[in-house]
């Protein structure tokens, strides 16, 4: 239950960060390209920070202590956000916080997989979805009668409350047991050099670029269509309901070859979703379209986590999760945030959705080629140095 609470608090805070903070940033005078640079810069920083911190955690055999440290330091930097008034100050604090914050999810994911196994991972991770969807829906509905900028302003202290709760909860994690195997840095680096892993992560990063664009620019998109702030909130609520359903439904199918073909379906469904986002203007239809989040995140993430088990044994799980987060969430997220901001600045949010739809089509073709390739049955590898 402790891990579930950590997921809930982290993703409740994340919902406020990516859905409502962009409007706080506009109130400070930032444009779409500036917002994309703030978010994109943070995710790019994670490319370096995530594998180093998660690899260090595996090397020291102190995952709980490392999770405590990154949660507390991330909060410490963001406590300064209410006191800055422009792009430079906000960007510096966000980028500094990105160093420890980038390692929270891979460390938490690795801890969950170690404790309950990859097939039951979704049962715990689902509480993060509940936190994300519940926060977005409740906050958005409560703020429906205020301006977008005012809602953004209110989201800052509430974010800090949930980030603070998570930091406190990490203090009560069970003490780390002495590690029976501490992989060497050479062994951890060898994981990063696996061609299969690198190709797998590169393909998934194309998909995550679209997801990051959706996360950051959804509310700016609905605002440009003239809808109230309740529309993106309800859209996210439907998305999370579909995601939660997926995390339970797809569990028997995420490993082995079936998981690889599931990723093909994920990319195809996501491409259709993004084209729909570009075309649809009716708020009810736009909200209903988010049922495809069943594939875009729920099925995608469950299958990806299970497939990662093919590339490293349990004692290197943290390093693999960190590499996955660095490449997929870092490179893919940076691509979605930065390029998305440039596209919106030059054209509009609809064009941005067309662009990320193309990325998912490319990813779908690549996943189909990989799934059709004769490989192992998805069983976890054994430890080798």
Query: b/e map of 242-281 (b: 16 or more CB within 10 Å)?
Result: bbbbbbeebbebbbbeebbbbbbbbbbbbbbbbbbbbebe
Reply yes or no on whether the pLDDT at 382 is more than 60.
Answer: no
Higher pLDDT, 128 or 175: 128
Q: Which two tokens stand for residue 124?
A: 């715990």
- Please compute Rg for the chain using Cα positions: 20
Do the domain assignments include residue 288?
yes
Reply yes or no on whether the pLDDT at 322 is more than 80.
Answer: no
Report how far residue 59's alpha carbon sits from residue 322's, in angstroms, rounded to the nearest whole number.
Answer: 13
pTM confidence score = 0.69
pLDDT at res. 384 = 38
Do the domain assignments include residue 384?
no
Do the domain assignments include residue 231?
yes
pLDDT at res. 65 = 82
Higher pLDDT, 258 or 348: 348
pLDDT at res. 385 = 36
Report how far residue 7's alpha carbon sits from residue 166's, in angstroms, rounded to the nearest whole number.
Answer: 8
pLDDT digits (tens, 9 = 90+) for 86-140: 899 999 999 999 999 988 888 888 778 777 776 677 678 788 888 987 888 888 8
pLDDT at res. 378 = 41
pLDDT at res. 8 = 94
pLDDT at res. 234 = 87
Which of 30-34, 171-175, 290-294 shows the lowest mean pLDDT across its residues? 171-175
Do the domain assignments include residue 379?
no
pLDDT at res. 379 = 40
CATH of the domain at 25: 1.20.1250.20
Which of 9-13, 35-39, 179-183, 217-221 shows the lowest mean pLDDT across its residues? 179-183
Contacts of 32 (CB under 8 A, 6+ apart): 217, 220, 341, 344, 345
What is the domain extent for residue 24? Answer: 2-372
Do the domain assignments include residue 150?
yes
Q: Tell me what the mean pLDDT of segment 343-359 comes to.
A: 91
Residue 163 pLDDT grade (very low, low, confident, very high; cuts 50, 70, 90): very high
Number of domains in the chain: 1
pLDDT digits (tens, 9 = 90+) for 210-255: 998 998 888 889 988 998 888 888 898 899 889 888 878 887 777 7
Do the domain assignments include residue 333?
yes
Do the domain assignments include residue 16?
yes
Residue 376 pLDDT grade (very low, low, confident, very high; cuts 50, 70, 90): very low
Do the domain assignments include residue 355?
yes
Q: What is the mean pLDDT of the chain?
A: 82
């Amino acid at each position: 239950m402790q891990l579930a609470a950590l997921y809930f608090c982290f993703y409740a805070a994340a919902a406020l960060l990516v859905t409502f903070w962009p409007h706080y940033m506009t109130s400070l005078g930032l444009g779409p390209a500036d917002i994309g640079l703030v978010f994109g810069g943070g995710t790019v920083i994670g490319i370096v920070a995530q594998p180093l911190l998660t690899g260090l955690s595996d090397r020291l055999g102190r995952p709980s202590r490392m999770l405590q440290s990154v949660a507390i330091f991330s909060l410490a930097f963001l406590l300064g956000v209410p006191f800055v008034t422009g792009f430079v100050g906000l960007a510096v604090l966000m980028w500094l916080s990105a160093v420890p914050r980038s390692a929270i999810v891979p460390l938490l994911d690795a801890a969950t997989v170690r404790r309950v196994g990859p097939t039951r991972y979704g049962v715990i991770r689902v509480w993060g979805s509940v936190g994300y969807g519940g926060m977005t829906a409740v906050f958005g509905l409560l703020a429906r009668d205020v301006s977008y900028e005012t809602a953004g302003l209110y989201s800052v202290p509430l974010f800090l409350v949930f980030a603070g709760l998570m930091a406190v909860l990490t203090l009560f994690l069970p003490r780390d047991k002495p590690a029976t195997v501490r992989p060497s840095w050479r062994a951890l680096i060898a994981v990063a050099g696996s061609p299969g892993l690198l190709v797998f992560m590169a393909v998934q990063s194309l998909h995550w670029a679209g997801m990051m664009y959706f996360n950051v620019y959804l509310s700016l998109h609905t605002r440009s269509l003239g809808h109230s702030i309740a529309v993106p909130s309800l859209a996210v609520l439907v998305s999370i309901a579909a995601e939660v359903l997926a995390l339970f439904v797809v569990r028997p199918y995420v490993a082995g070859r079936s998981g690889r073909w599931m990723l093909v379906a994920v990319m195809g469904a996501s491409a259709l979703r993004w084209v729909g986002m570009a075309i649809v203007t009716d708020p009810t239809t736009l909200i209903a379209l988010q049922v495809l989040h069943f594939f875009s995140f729920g099925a995608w993430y469950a299958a990806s986590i299970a497939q990662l088990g093919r590339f490293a044994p349990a004692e290197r799980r943290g390093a693999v999760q960190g590499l996955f987060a660095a490449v997929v969430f870092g490179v893919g997220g940076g691509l979605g945030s930065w390029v998305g901001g440039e596209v919106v600045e030059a054209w509009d949010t609809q064009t941005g959705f067309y662009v990320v739809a193309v990325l998912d089509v490319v990813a779908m073709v690549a996943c189909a080629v990989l799934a059709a390739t004769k490989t192992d049955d998805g069983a976890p590898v054994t430890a080798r140095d």
